[in-house]
Amino acid sequence: MGLSINNRQDVTSSIKRSIKWIIVFLAIVIVVSIVGIIVLNAVYSLDANSFAKEIAIVLLQLIAVGVVGSVSSLLLAQYSAGQAALQAKKQQEEEELRLQRERARAVEAAREKEERLQAEKAIDLQRIDIKNKNDLKKDIVKRLGQIYHDVKGVRRMLRAKVLSVPYDDKNISTANVYLKPYAQYMETFNDLQLDLEGIKDEIRYGTIHMALFSSNEEIYKSLKLMEEYLSAVFNEYETCKSKFNEKAYAPYTEFTRLQDLLSSAGKDSQTAFRKHFINEYKGTIARMLGDLVNLEAA
């Protein structure tokens, strides 16, 4: 594109050399002409019609032509130098503009690269966050399922070990409750109630700060009902210890919460155990499982 910097320097140097030699040539012509005129005047008489006068006139004309030619050459050289300077300035400006554009493109490319890296990083962090939440959800589902099955296991053992007659005996209303196995299984029951309370509080924390499940509030309410039911059964055990006689048993009819727990809990049952524990568990677990994210599709 145009002259390079080295070429511009060569042109400028060439113009300077030309001007120098023009000045030298002009000086030589003038000096030689003047010396010639002086010599002619000294040797010959410069009369009006003398040959020497003719030569002197020619020398004067030569001086005039040399001066005019030199001045013209100087002006031309000056013009050429000016044009070269303008061309050099123009090329310098174009070069600076090209460099500015290249720098701008480099900055834009760097910005786009940084934005792309930040976007990829954000996606990775989002996937990590989704995976962490998913793992936590799975853990809660697993723990809640274990509590549910353990409660049903304790319920089954209470039926088998605590009553003085088989649970399905027609005289169940006359049965007694034995304190020792009752106390033993209520301790396990208490542990399960505390575990459920822990899950409930985890969900409640999420409700306040960062909803873990999309239906966090509904899940919390269901867990609260389940936990309150287990707590009520255990509280009955704590408050009914005075009902046991010296033989360590008491009438089954004195334990309304225990009766509700051990009663039939089929799908048509109206017991609190069915409504506040089984049904709430099934609804809650369905909401939780429906909220798990397929990480491959995320």
The per-residue pLDDT for 297 is 47
Least confident piece of the model among 73-77, 195-199, 206-210, 289-293: 206-210
Give the span between the Cα atoms of 48 and 46, in whole angstroms.
7
Q: Report pLDDT for 227.
A: 96
Does pLDDT of 11 surpass 60? Answer: no
Q: Between these two residues, 123 and 90, which has the higher pLDDT value?
A: 90
**pLDDT confidence of 115, banded at 50, 70, 90?**
confident
Tell me: pLDDT of 236 over 90: yes
Q: State the average pLDDT over residues 212-226.
A: 92
In sequence order, what DSSP letters do the residues of 98-131 get, joined into one string? Answer: HHHHHHHHHHHHHHHHHHHHHHHHHHHHHHHHHH
Q: What is the mean pLDDT of the chain?
A: 81
Q: Which tens digit of pLDDT belongs to each residue from 138-148?
A: 999 999 999 99
| Better-scored residue on pLDDT, 158 or 264 | 158
Which has the closest alpha carbon to 278: 147, 189, 139? 147
Q: Which two tokens stand for residue 95?
A: 């070069």
Q: Reduce the DSSP state of residue 249 to 3 states and report it.
A: strand
- Residue 121's pLDDT is 65
What average pLDDT does range 227-252 have in this prediction? 89
Predicted pLDDT of residue 188: 95
Q: Which residues contact 251 (CB under 8 A, 6 or more apart)?
A: 175, 176, 177, 243
pLDDT value, residue 34: 73
Q: Which two tokens stand for residue 73?
A: 């050459």
DSSP letter string, 141-178: HHHHHHHHHHHHHHHHHHHHHTBSS-TT-TTGGG-EEE
**Residue appearing with tokens 């020792």:** 180
Q: Could you tell me which residues come within 8 angstroms of residue 249 by beta carbon, excluding any fewer than 6 positions away? A: 164, 176, 177, 178, 179
Residue-level pLDDT at 272: 95
Q: How confident is the model at residue 31 (pLDDT cuts 50, 70, 90)?
A: confident
Q: 98-102, 106-110, 291-295 — which one is most confidently predicted on average?
A: 98-102
pLDDT at 87 > cutoff 80: yes
pLDDT, tens digit (0-9, with 9 covering 90-100), for 168-194: 877 888 899 999 999 999 999 999 999
